[in-house]
Amino acid sequence: MKQPNLSLTAEYAEGAEFSKKISALSATSAVEFPSRLVKSGSQRSASSGLTFSLPPELEAGAPAEARGLARDEVRLMVSYLADNRVTHTQFRALPDFLNAGDLLVINTSGTLNAALSATRADGTPLELHVSTHLPADLWCVEVRRPDGITSRPFHEAVAGETLSLPAGATATLHTPYRPEHRPGGPTRLWIATLHLPEWAKNYPYPDTNPVANERMANDSLDSPFADSPFFSKGSAGTNLESYLREYGFPIRYYYVEQPWPGDYYQTVYATEPGSAEMPSAGRAFTPELITRLVAKGVQIAPLILHTGVASLEEHEPPYEEYYRVPLDTARQVNTARTAGKRVIAVGTTVVRALETVTDAEGTTHPGEGWTRLVITPEWGLRVVKGLLTGLHEPEASHLAMLQALAGLEHLEVTYGEALEKGYLWHEFGDLHLMLP
């Protein structure tokens, strides 16, 4: 397994050569199972073949708590791949559908306040979405323009320009990020350098987890994640999380009509900040529900995949995302598979991370890096047998991943049921559990 190459420095020249070096770095940073990786420049369709219209009233515009529900009182559709059976229930009934020995794999990445107000040199107000931390303290960012209660992609930004951010911070746009994903099209994502104010450069690293916060207070910058290439000790990544806590706000899209505090975008088991958008399949879990699962003998294993920004308007395939699969998690996955137990991913992020580090024989390995894996029906799945996920909008690339697990017929049945029964879509919506 290749180790991520972290030798890239910010002094590389801007422009085409700089972009080539970033692309080459991304290619060597993923675990290398070549038959599973989408190569640079590939324009393989992300379409699943599932087509439907999503009525606006089924787009969840507020968290369950604002609708008078507990987190685990959202609806749960349980479907069985073997015979297309569908059951409708509440999420808090999840333990009734799992067995002792089943393995739930969760993504413990915490959600950043990844949106910032920004201004161009000519005074044009913009919004900057901070997506993925790249090596050499470079960042993938999306530039957007405010549009009423939401924002829209802004395609007029140019290489070399510097945007002003709150409290004297700035963002310098270097070159388009992975332009081969948009041949001939406008630039949506940029490779950028973030320059923080002096106070943020010396600010201790706060974690999203209260227990970790206390540990950080005792250990200052000696974070247990300090050796991670995502948030390295003393880096802009480390300090950016503090800055975003102070001046950022959660990314939201047109269907969320009012801002909600960052706590509404965290799962109860988040341990390490880094996701631009919430790994929302785990939002409905509560400490009480997790206790019931463990008491029943359901196993739970963590991993990290820091999500980047979505492509809600333009439906691009997923870009590189940083992941880390611990040794203990890989062992639990392999033990469950060998024993004939079900490996159930909580969210598409978990599927992407696990399948990245699973070889052709179905053995899962520990690993860390940036994955470019795009899962389609042609690629298939090697280790994940069940999936807990939200409901995905038409044309979403995640639907291709779901088809790889369940097949088109099963998706047609279940999404037809979800539409008929009035299930809610998006990160604050209802959930779908697919089992063998």
Which pTM was predicted? 0.83
pLDDT for res 200: 67
Asked if 103 and 332 count as a contact pair (C-beta separation under 8 A), the reply is yes
pLDDT at residue 183 greater than cutoff 90: no
Q: How far apart are CA 144 and CA 141, in angstroms?
A: 10
Across the range 230-241, mean pLDDT stands at 55
Answer yes or no: are the C-beta atoms of 193 and 170 closer than 8 Å: no
Owner of token pair 């369950």? 64
Per-residue pLDDT reduced to its tens digit, 80-136: 999 999 999 999 999 999 999 999 999 999 999 999 999 999 999 999 999 999 888
Q: Give the pLDDT mean for 259-268.
A: 96
Residues 89, 75: Cα–Cα separation, whole Å: 6
Domain annotation for the chain: domains and CATH numbers: 16-33+113-247 (no CATH), 56-110+261-435 (3.40.1780.10)
The 10s digit of each residue's pLDDT in 186-213 is: 899 999 999 998 776 555 443 433 433 3
Report percent pLDDT > 70 for the chain. Answer: 78
Q: Contact at 8 Å (CB) between 264 and 65? A: yes
Task: Answer yes or no: is pLDDT of 315 > 80.
Answer: no
pLDDT tier for residue 223 given thresholds of 50, 70 and 90: very low
Ramachandran angles phi, psi of 411, nearest 5°: -65, -40
Contact status, residue 415 vs residue 394, Cβ threshold 8 Å: no
Percentage of residues in the chain with pLDDT exceeding 90? Answer: 69
Residue 33 has pLDDT above 70, yes or no: no
Q: What separation, in Å, do the N-terminal and C-terminal C-alpha atoms of the chain show?
A: 31
DSSP 15-39: SHHHHHHHHHHHHHHS---GGGSPP
> 20-24, 37-41, 321-325, 344-348: which has the minimum mean pLDDT?
37-41
CA distances from 21 to 6, 129, 382 (A): 12, 23, 31
Q: Which two tokens stand for residue 295?
A: 């008491």
Torsion sign over Cα 193, 197, 203, 205: negative
Average pLDDT, the chain: 83
d(CA 181, CA 211): 41
Name the least confident of 68-77, 392-401, 412-421: 392-401
CA distance 197 to 183: 36
* Residue among 113, 117, 138 nearest 128 (CA): 117
Count of CB atoms situated within 10 Å of the CB of 88: 14
pLDDT at 141: 97
Taking alpha carbons only, the member of 374, 354, 368 closest to residue 301 is 354
- Specify the pLDDT at position 212: 34
Q: For the CA atoms of 289, 291, 295, 298, what is the dihedral angle to 10 degrees?
A: 70
